[in-house]
Amino acid sequence: MEPQPTPARPDSPDCAAAHAIETVFRLESPRVVAGVARIVRDVGIAEELTQDALVAALERWSRDGVPDNPGAWLMATARHRAVDLIRRRETYARKLAEIGRDLETIAPPEEPADPEDIDDDLLRLVFTTCHPVLSPQARTALTLRLVGGLSTAEIARAYLVPEPTVAQRIVRAKRTLATRNVAFEVPYGPDREARLGSVLDVIYLIFNEGYAATAGDDLLRPGLVEDALRLARVLSALMPKEPEVHGLTALLEFQASRTAARTASDGTPVLLERQNRRRWNRRLIARGIRALDRAGATAPGAPGPYALQAAIAACHAHAYRYEDTDWRTIATLYGLLAVAAPSPVVELNRAVAVAMADGPAEGLRLVDALAAEPVLRDYHLLPSVRGDLLARLGRVAEAREEFVRAAGLARNEQERELLLRRAADPSSPGRSS
């Protein structure tokens, strides 16, 4: 269930309360869900109680006005309902015994001094919604719902799937967590390391869907970029000794810094070679540099995959002109990444960097070696890269065929149109980021 404010006049108290509810929902609901889940040990029930508190807020705030600290009001209301629920329902007797007789003496979490500060309960919630017992799709949907504060409709729009599909994923995910007795906790030791990887992967997946949508009419989905970036920053604050958390945060900061330059005013993609780098967000680049420094300072040994990708992104960020890009260092970093996290996609990216450092013939040799990879069989960027390299070698007719093939595989309309334009004029610049 999601809050459904009653339609009201724009200047009425009801409208003001509804607006406050909408704002508070995004900012506070993850923390409230996390705080309640600490009591009931069930994220599904915690979300329902949070929704109940939001409905109560709409009624109370319309009459009495919005309180000075709406987040604390919601937390207190949801927590009281959690305690009442546990008292009433016999099925919660076992959990009540686990929690102890002093349940009511549990102090509510302290209010964060900074909007980006977060408490340990939310960290537990992140690890719970990204538990490996859930499918990657379910982890993403549940994380966006409970931690990102997105509605079911918003998640459905973001991933271009029917709203009932998303709703079913979320319901099944919560049911799975309950039936599998997944603990509401941050794991330690090897379990923590295994779960942290899943958490980082989900956040990166959310970011990538916002940064380069796999399907649809628009290349970018800024809301998903912002959600993923916020989650990464939050995780960095909560886990300052985890180098890969800082590595992912740095990577997202660097990538997000290019957002404004990646599309023209009509939404068409602007490839890396032609981007106006004065539009890159230098504040985000500075944040990325600091996060990458923290990753290096906390890493006991060789950098992890996210830190390596962040280092590659930093190379692009440090080049004020495309011509100044240090492709040789980028190729070396991709070589290290291919060892740390081998995959055909990494090898394809390495081939691009090698082509820029050593010439298109050497890059084409590496790309052709990937042609038989099953993972890349329907990956539109393989023929796109091959077409670009063939064009640089003057093999225009072959390049045109590759761009047409890439356009046929692309699911995003903006990318498809770009590839068709390149097919019409293969010699035009078009190397991508």
What are the domain boundaries of the chain? 14-98
Give the pLDDT band of residue 409 (cuts 50, 70, 90): very high
Residues 382-396 have pLDDT tens digits of 999 999 999 999 999
pLDDT at 401 over 80: yes
- The CA-atom distances, in angstroms, between 56 and each of 25, 61, 75, 78, 412 are 13, 8, 12, 10, 42
- Other C-beta atoms lying within 10 Å of the C-beta of residue 151: 16
The Cα angle at residue 187 between residues 184 and 190, in degrees rounded to 5: 155
Tokens of 234: 């939050």
pLDDT at 343 over 50: yes
What is the per-residue pLDDT for 94? Answer: 59
Highest mean pLDDT: which range of 1-10, 163-172, 424-433: 163-172
Residue 385 in contact with residue 352, Cβ under 8 Å?
A: yes
pLDDT at 376 over 60: yes
Residue 184 to residue 181: CA distance in whole angstroms:
9
Among the listed residues 306, 308, 312, 282, the one whose alpha carbon sits nearest the alpha carbon of residue 205:
306
Residue 275 to residue 261: CA distance in whole angstroms:
6
Q: Taking each helix axis from N to C terminus, what angle separates 344-358 and 327-340, rounded to the nearest 10 degrees?
A: 160
Highest mean pLDDT: which range of 111-120, 152-161, 187-196, 262-271: 262-271
Residue 21 or 251, more confident: 251
Among the listed residues 161, 243, 211, the one whose alpha carbon sits nearest the alpha carbon of residue 433:
211
> 14-98 adopts what CATH topology?
Rna Polymerase Sigma Factor; Chain: A (1.10.1740)
Residue showing tokens 């099925």: 91
How confident is the model over 261-276, as a mean pLDDT?
88
Highest mean pLDDT: which range of 81-85, 154-158, 165-169, 428-432: 165-169
- DSSP per-residue codes, 127-162: HHHT-TTS-HHHHHHHHHHHTS---HHHHHHHHT--
Residues 6+ apart with CB under 8 A from 277: 261, 319, 320, 321, 322
pLDDT at 329 over 90: yes
How far the first Cα of the chain sits from its last, in Å, is 41
Residue 243 in contact with residue 303, Cβ under 8 Å?
A: yes
Residues 6+ apart with CB under 8 A from 152: 2, 145, 163, 166, 167, 170
Residue 73 to residue 214: CA distance in whole angstroms:
40
pLDDT at 114 over 60: no
Tokens of 300: 């006991």
Mean pLDDT of the chain: 83
Distance of CA 162 to the CA centre of its chain: 20
- DSSP per-residue codes, 262-317: SB-TTS-B--GGG--GGGS-HHHHHHHHHHHHHHHHH-SSS--HHHHHHHHHHHHH
> Helix H segments across 160-242?
163-179, 189-211, 222-238
Tokens of 264: 């023209």
- DSSP per-residue codes, 371-430: TT-GGGTT-THHHHHHHHHHHHTT-HHHHHHHHHHHHHH--BHHHHHHHHHHHHSTTS--
